[in-house]
Structures are given as C-alpha cells and as structure tokens.
Chain A
Amino acid sequence: MTVQEVGTPRKRSEDARLITGRTRWTDNMTPAGTLHVAFLRSPFAHARITGVATAPAKERPGVVAVFSGQDFAAEQGSLPCAWVVTEDMKHPAHPPMAVDEVRYVGEPVACVVARDKAAAIDALEEIDVDYEPLSAVVDMEAAIADGADLVHEDLGTNKSYTWVFENGDLDAAMRDAPVVLERRFVQQRLIPTAMEPRSVLCVPEGDEFTLYSATQIPHILRLMLATVTEIPEHRIRVVAPDVGGGFGSKLQVYGEEVLALLLARRLGRPVKWTETRSEGNMTVHHGRDQIQRLTLAAERDGRIRGLKVELLADMGAYLMLVTPGIPLLGAFMFNGIYKMDALSFTCTGVFTTKTPTDAYRGAGRPEATFAIERMMDELAHELGIDPIEVRRRNWIAHEEFPYETIAGLTYDTGNYEAATDKALELFEYDKLRAEQADRRERRDPVQLGIGVSTFTEMCGLAPSRVLGSLSYGAGGWEHASVRVLPSGKVEVVTGSSPHGQGHATAWAQITADRLGVPFEDVKVLHGDTAISPKGMDTYGSRSLTVGGVALFSACEKVVDKARKVAAHLLEASEQDLEFSGGRFSVRGVQEEGKTIQEVALAAFAAHDLPDGIEPSLDSDATFDPENFSFPHGTHLCAAEVDTETGMVKLRKYVAVDDVGKVVNPLIVEGQVHGGLAQGIAQALYEEAVYDADGNLTTTTMADYLVPSAADLPTFTTDRTETPATSNPMGVKGVGEAGTIASTPAVVNAIVDALRPYGVHDVRMPCTPERVWRAMRAEEKPAAAEPGAGGGLGSAGGDQ
C-alpha cells in the first residue's frame, strides 16, 4: 500500500545536490571557448550620448570585440512590454544598449567581449563616452507638476498612463459620512535581491542558439527573444538551470539576455555575462515605489462606507515586461477582506530617471494590503475601537462566501474568523494588551505595540479571460505532461519553472498519489524549452494553483487511458474496475488485477491494445483557472520600541495562514518564513535610495540592508484550511502571503507603540532614526504635512 503523499511533510529531493555544491547555476557553466562580456554603464541619471570611442579598448590584451549601442542599433530591437494597460499608454522605445540617450544610472552603453572576465572589465576603462548631462527626474510628484523636466522628450509628459476603476457611488458614500480619514503612505522602492546574481550564457550552433539564463520565465523569455531579435522562435532554446531565487526580479526580459544572444550570433562563440551585485542593484528591476493617497469614509460604529485610492506609481525610466500592470494587480485588493459600498481607484504611472520597476514578491498586492491594513488601524484609533473589532465589523463572514467584492472579484471561500481566533490565541493577545497598558502607565521608555493584519491576496495568476480584459498580452494557463516509462517509472514535465520553491518534490508527491506509484519513481522535468514545450512559468504564486492543477489533470488522463488498457487486458468492463494504490482490479475480485506499471509496459509493447488506443501511457493537459484563488490569514506582531533610541525589536510574530489544501507542509512553512522575512525587511530595513542627481546610493549589500539571522525573530506559524473551490485540488498558493501580510502588521505595531506620543505614522523603512524623528516631530503640534491628515509619512521632513 502506498502512503498518502499529498499533505506529508516530505523532505525535498532537490536538496541533495544543493547541499553538496553539485549545482548548475548558470555561472557554473563555461563551455570551451566561452567569451566573457562586461558592460559599460551610464554614470549619469540622464544624459545625451554624443560619442563613444571604442578603439583603444579593442587593443587591450584578451579583448575580442567592443560594441556600443550604435553598433547594435539596427538589430537590438526594443525590450518588450507585454501589458499595455490603456490604449493611450505612453510606451517609449527601450533599446537593450542605449544609443543616443541614457535615462538611469547603470543603463548599458557599451560592452566588451574578452577571453576572460578580468580582461573584459579592465578594457571598460578604455572606452570613452561623451555625455551631455540632462536633468535628472527623481521625485514622482515633481515629475508630474507643470514644467517638469521630461524623461522622454518626445512623449511630452512624464505620465505613462492613468488607469481608473470605479464601483458604487463614492460621492454618496463620502457625503455626510461621520468619519472621513485621509492618509498618505509611501511605498518605498525596494531591490528584490535574489542571492544568485543574474547570469546568462548563450551557446550558438550555426543559426540555432541555446540560452541559459537565471530566469523565472524560460518560456516567455524565448518568445520575447524571438520577437525582439527576429531570430525564429524554433531556433532558440532557453534553459533555466538551477536558479538561485527570483522574487519577481527574474520575471523579466533583460537587455543583457538579448545582447548575449546577439553577441553569440555575431561572434559565433559562446558568450557569458554574470552581473556583480553592484551592477545588479542598479539594473535588476526594482519593486514597489508608490505614493498612495487614501480617503476612507465610515460610520461611527466602524463600518466602512467607501474608499478612494489615488496612486502614483514610479515606472522608472522605461516600461519593462509587466511594469505598468503591477499597480493594477493591487487595484483589486485595496478593499482587502472588507465589505464597502463604493470604491474608486486611480493610478498614474510616472516616468522618472531611475531603474525601471516591475514585479517584486507580491507585486501590487503588498502595496494594497499595506494601505488598507494601515487604514483599518487608523480607523480603529479614530473611533477608539480595538483594531481586531473594527475588522470583525467589516469583514466578509464565513457564511457569506462566495462573495463578490466591490473591486469586482469573487472570493470563493474564506474563514477569517477561524484564522483570527487561532492567531489571537497563539499570540496571547489579551495578555500582551495588558502588558502594553502597564508599560504605558509606567511611562516605560520601551513601549510595546501590537500590530494586526487580516489580509487576503489573489493567487493563481490567472484566468486567461481576466488577463485579456486587463489587456495583458498572453493567457494565464499552465501546462503539464506525464509519461509512464516502459519500466514503470514516471517522468513529469511542468511548464512552471522553479527557483527554490521545491517543485521537484511537490509535483512528485502529487503524481505519486494520483498514479499510485512510489514517490522515488517520479522525476520532474522543467525549465528547458526543449523538454518542456509549453509553459507560462513561475510567478505570482501560480505554480501549484495553475501548474500543479494541470499536472493533476494530466495524471487523471493517464489513469483514464490506463483504465481502458487494463479493462482490455483483464477482459472486464471499465466500469467494473477499481483503481487504488496504483492497481486496477475488478470490483469484488481483488486478486484479478494489473498494476499501472504493468499497464504501462503493455501500452509500450502495444501487442494487444484496445481498438483506437495509441501506444504508450502518457498524456498532457493544460489548466486555465476559472477564478483566482484567495489565500488569507491573520498576522499579529508585537514590537518593542525604545523611545529613547528609536530602536524597534520584534518581540513576537504569529502568522496564521489559510492557503487551502497543502501538498507539503514543510515547503509551505518554509515559504511563509521566507515571505515574512521579506515583508518585515520592507517595514524595517530595506530601501533603494536615490540622491537628487539620480544616483543610486544603495548599490551594495553594505548600503542596502538585507536582514540577517540576527535581525529577525523566530516566527510562530500555523494554518487553517479552507479549500479553494476554484480548482479540483483546493489549493490556493503560498509564495507571497508572508510578504504581503507582514509589512502592515509590523508598521501597525510600531505606530501602536507610539500612539501615546501622538505618532500616527512612520515612513518605511522604520529605521531607528525615522522612529526617533517621528516622535520628536509629533511632540510639537502642527508638524503635519499639508493634506496628509495627521502628519503622515514624512515626520520631521524625513524623505
């Protein structure tokens, strides 16, 4: 009898090579004859290029070729943007190497190809570029003011688009509302910082190319490379070997990938480029970066009437693969888990002379969740109601599902009560509140704050028709195939492309259960367009909810086919067959049977198959979800804030998540931990900082503070399980939940600790200095920023 795999905390099969260093990172591969590429990058945020002299660099030892953007102008195309969110969206050309103008620090201007990396880097110094500096455009609000300097002169504006969504009568909701709160929040710019730097290796073979890249999206990348370069799609093979994390940053078509392909074509030799961390910080797409203005109208009992959201979203200098769509993913989540009569959402995409932004873990949803969860706390404070109670009065009750939200989504299931009750118990909420009161009473210099975040998010990107309605360029289905080999072992191919999520284990668990074969007999293949022919890749917690379900369906098809063969072999009717533990038997006659392995061998030999059945036991399936899935949960954070130093210490963190059915609890827990670390990092540590001239001042890991083990607490995690109804497995997705939920929980805790000091907000990241300044600024009245309704976001002029 086989054990039930799904639901079992099985240790990962991918670990064996990762713990022994037998890995296939792209940078580990160096075929004979490989040439190394180094890029010369713009030191200016904005400048006209009037000349590039490459001749002296070509003379350097070991240098094979030197090219400027001009040299590739005719063939490098423009990097793609697959999400044209409005018909009149401004969408400037984006050459992989700048030709006549640079628009952010780090933009590639020229490249050297040399025998080794050191020679390539040395030769960069010999390239002479004439720049005519232009004005940097750094601040989003200034960028859209009249008379602002333009990032793209020819567009005549720094606004890329304005996208509007309205539902319900907001004016009516706001009119005579007893409580109206207006707040301004800043979502700082973040650098995703996957531990593996980007790396690309392109190996030419005649007019065919194999491109290895540390990418999340081999399939999309291949199509886009073909489109951009006009090299036919079937002559490009893209392989994502081991990939060391992505968090959205490798969901991209980068200029370096296009150029590696073009260089390999021109030079006829393998070419490789691996970024240094410093150039990566400047050129990997950044995340978040929004200014949010919210107006919330409510009754005195706390019930919300309506919400108005006005966003400015920094696109950076260019629109990359899904840049303009990221804030829109948040549009549907600003209402959170709450009921309201009206919602209005407006987002303006703004060009600045900074690194482009795009997807970063959660993509749009963390920004939205932060805003609504901060607003709920503001409302609770305004009304003198407990923040949990305010949420209870507004959230969708368990019996109300499925529920159509004001943002137009249908939440299929949820049980906010159960998750919240569990979290409160684990957290010992009442006890901590009592301690908080005591510390307030005693005027303890270390104050305690309690932050809550009751959140949902939308996973399983995405129903293709929904993407179509949002003008995204492709569908959101996923593909899988299953082949039972003649020996009875099983190969599974998935179109999703992991970079640390543990697909090889989870997919094998699903397959083992569906086919009734041992876990060890299943091999999962992925990340190579020559092996995995169709796919939409991995991002947005879609792998399991879409790709895993595709695999589930492919397994079902295999079993259906096997049943036909087994029935034939057993001379029984299909209806009389039972399939259990990997064996077909005739109902009531247990000893008569065929294992799926026996059936596979018979289907391979094909000596005696039923009419119309093709040899071999395999199948493939695609799954296009009907709806998103909606993981939810309640996170509680207790923070100790030292009012003398501004230091914040997380004392306790409880996360109760509902991610529906769980395939591997170990993997789920790991994903939650990692997600929490990233969300907490946004609250406390990380920010990409530009100076007034548009120079990134956080180019290294010494300046950009990724938290270490010593910076984070031990988390208490638990789950409730409300299966999704939008897919046959009941799964919802887990990759982003921790990140989405934790940022507001932490900031709410900090603000809660400082309420007695008149503090109503601290801008992220809540560094000791910012916390300290917020307290001092608030001690004096009228420090509030104009229009911010309570001194939000920029206490003490802290920008």
Chain B
Amino acid sequence: MPRIRVEVDGATYEDDVEPRLLLVQYLRERLGKVGTPVGCDTSNCGACTVLMDGMSVKSCSVLAVQADGHDVTTVEGLGVDGGTHPMQRAFHEEHALQCGYCTPGMIMASLDLLRDNPDPSEDEVREGLEGNLCRCTGYQNIVKAVRRAASDMREPGRQEVTP
C-alpha cells in the first residue's frame, strides 16, 4: 500500500492507503473529517469540494495518493482561533443555507472563485458555482453571500482569501 504524507487543516498525517481510496473517503473515514459530505458518485454535485494547495477540487474525484505532498483545507480548517471565516459568516448573514448539506462545498468553491476574481458580478458567481448543486436555496442567497464575502474580504486587513 502506498504511503502518503498530507497536511490537512494545519496538521500533518502519514498513512498507508489503498490506491483506490478517494480523498473524500480518506478525509471522512481515516481522519474523521466528516465536515465534508458526499452527495453523488459522479463528481457532479460539489458537496465534497475542498481546497488542495488553495485550489478547489472535488475530493470524490481525487485519489488519496494524489494528495501526497499537498496541503488540503476542509471547511473544518477555516477560520482561526475558533472564529469563522468571512465566507462562513457571509453564508450565515445572507441566509445562504437551509439544510446545509451543500454548504461546506459551496463555501470552499466560493473561496477558490474569489481567489481568481476578488470582485465577481452576479453572473460570474453563478457561473463560477456551476459545479456545486444546492437543492434548498434556489441559489439566490448563495450568490448574495459570495458577493458579500468578496466585499468583506477586499477591505484592508481582511485579505484572507485562503485561510
């Protein structure tokens, strides 16, 4: 079994993993990072989105071995000192979640979106989140939340696009 070394939410892990093990399974089943859920088996829903070296990936479409040597951030690693990240706060402020199942993936995908485009238009947010499905919100408040977070994060002293 291959041995991998990954940094997840600030801690380093070394594990032997089966080659077929998906990153999302590794996170959930081996590391107990259950904050990242699974919504599909075809890489369509985006529920499992995490950041790998700051870029969003659907962790159900990445093998754990591919994460070897990389830095992974899940929703559980956002925010510092027990606080929450501006993106998390914006989702709360704008009522951008209902059941919350899509939320971790939405938050992670949105962070990547803002990395490329710190001031997206409404259409740009909609297109940027095309790979993340939500069944509850109709997306309107998610779009609002991302734009609010973008504006909060552009303020001086709040440049924390990635945690």
Question: Chain A: residues with CB nearer than 8 A to chain B?
Answer: 11-12, 14-16, 18-23, 25, 27-28, 30, 116, 118, 193-197, 242-245, 247, 276-278, 499-502, 666-667, 669-678, 700-702, 706, 708-710, 712, 714-715, 738
Contact = CB atoms under 8 A, between A and B. Distances in A.
Contacts of A22: 35, 76
A21 B34 contact: yes
B97 A19 contact: yes
B102 A708 contact: no
Contacts of B137: 670, 673-674, 677
Contact of A21 (B38, B75, B136, B141): B75
A243 B76 contact: no
B126 A21 contact: no
Contact of B139 (A16, A247, A502, A677): A677
A500 B96 CA distance: 12
Nearest to B35: A21
Interface of B: 18, 20, 28-29, 33-42, 44-45, 47, 74-76, 78-79, 84, 88-89, 91-93, 95, 97-104, 107, 122, 125-127, 129-143
Contact of A20 (B35, B134, B135, B139): B35
A195 B34 contact: no
Given A19-B103, A195-B45, A195-B102, 5 more contacts: A15-B91, A27-B38, A499-B99, A700-B40, A702-B42
B130 A244 contact: no
B39 A195 contact: yes
Given A19-B107, A21-B74, A701 B133 contact: yes
A615 to B, nearest CB: 39
Given A28-B34, A673-B137, A709-B142, A21 B104 contact: yes
A709 B39 contact: no
Contacts of A16: 92
Contacts of B89: 19
B140 A197 contact: no
A685 to B, nearest CB: 12
B136 A674 contact: yes
B74 A710 contact: no
A232 B101 CA distance: 34
Nearest to A16: B92
Dominant SS at the B interface? Answer: loop
B138 A500 contact: no
A338 to B, nearest CB: 28
Contacts of A245: 98-99, 101, 135-136
Nearest to A675: B138
A196 B39 contact: yes
A276 B101 CA distance: 15
Nearest to B98: A500
A251 B138 CA distance: 22
Given A15-B92, A197-B39, A670-B95, A676 B138 contact: yes
Contacts of B142: 709
Nearest to B78: A20
A247 B95 CA distance: 19
Q: Which of A11, A242, A710, A715 has the most CB of B within 10 A?
A: A710
Contacts of A194: 99, 101, 135
Given A19-B84, A20-B78, A25-B101, A712 B138 contact: yes
B51 to A, nearest CB: 13
A25 B107 contact: no
Contact of B133 (A11, A195, A667): A195
Q: Which of A194, A245, A667, A669 has the most CB of B within 10 A?
A: A245
Given A19-B88, A666-B95, A670-B98, A710 B134 contact: no
A276 B25 CA distance: 13
A196 B37 contact: yes
19 contacts: A11-B93, A12-B92, A14-B100, A19-B88, A19-B107, A20-B84, A23-B37, A27-B38, A28-B28, A30-B29, A195-B45, A244-B100, A278-B42, A670-B95, A677-B137, A700-B41, A709-B129, A712-B139, A714-B140
A700 B42 contact: yes
Contacts of B36: 21
Contacts of A195: 39, 45, 47, 99, 101-102, 133-136
Q: Which of B33, B35, B78, B91 has the most CB of A within 10 A?
A: B35
A708 B129 contact: yes
Q: Which of B29, B127, B133, B142 has the most CB of A within 10 A?
A: B133
Contacts of A11: 92-93, 95
A701 B141 contact: no
A673 B35 contact: no
Q: Which of B41, B76, B102, B133 has the most CB of A within 10 A?
A: B41
Kindly list the 9 A-B residue pairs having the minimum CB-CB distance in the complex, ordered from nearest.
Answer: A21-B35, A500-B99, A18-B100, A244-B101, A673-B138, A677-B138, A701-B44, A500-B98, A28-B34
A708 B75 contact: no
A674 B135 contact: yes
B99 A243 contact: yes
B46 to A, nearest CB: 9
B38 to A, nearest CB: 7
A25 B37 contact: yes
Nearest to A242: B100
Contacts of A667: 95
B37 A20 contact: no
B34 A501 contact: no
Nearest to B123: A710
